[in-house]
Amino acid sequence: MSQPTSFSLDQPYTEIIVVRHGETAWNATGRIQGHMDVELNEVGRQQAASLAERLSRVPEISAIYSSDLKRALETAETIVATCGKFEVIKDPDLRERHLGDVQGLLFREAAKVCPQAYRAFSSRRTDQVIPGGGESLDQLYHRATSSLQRICQKHTGKRVVVVTHGGVIRALYRRACSRRFRGSILNTSVNIIQISGDDVWTIKAWGDIDHLNQTGHSMSGFGVSKTPSVVSPVLT
Q: Are 32 and 111 in contact (CB under 8 A)?
A: no
CA-CA-CA-CA dihedral for 208, 39, 101, 99, to nearest 10:
-30
The answer on whether 21 is annotated among ligand-binding residues is: yes
Strands 159-164 and 61-66: parallel
Burial (CB count <10 Å: 0-12, 13-18, 19+), residue 20: buried
The answer on whether 206 is annotated among ligand-binding residues is: no
Considering the candidates 74, 77, 96, 135, report the single residue annotated as catalytic. Answer: 96
The answer on whether 71 is annotated among ligand-binding residues is: yes
The answer on whether 211 is annotated among ligand-binding residues is: no
Torsions phi, psi of 81, nearest 5?
Answer: -60, -30
The answer on whether 202 is annotated among ligand-binding residues is: no
The answer on whether 23 is annotated among ligand-binding residues is: yes
The answer on whether 20 is annotated among ligand-binding residues is: yes
Distance CA 198, CA 85 (A): 30
The answer on whether 201 is annotated among ligand-binding residues is: no
21 is known as an active-site residue:
yes
Rg, the chain, Cα only: 17
Considering the candidates 21, 98, 165, 217, report the single residue annotated as catalytic. Answer: 21
CA dihedral sign of residues 180, 200, 138, 188: positive
The answer on whether 124 is annotated among ligand-binding residues is: yes
Q: Which residues are annotated as a binding site for substrate?
A: 20-27, 71, 124-125
Q: Which residues are annotated as a binding site?
A: 20-27, 71, 124-125
Catalytic positions, written as ranges? 21, 96
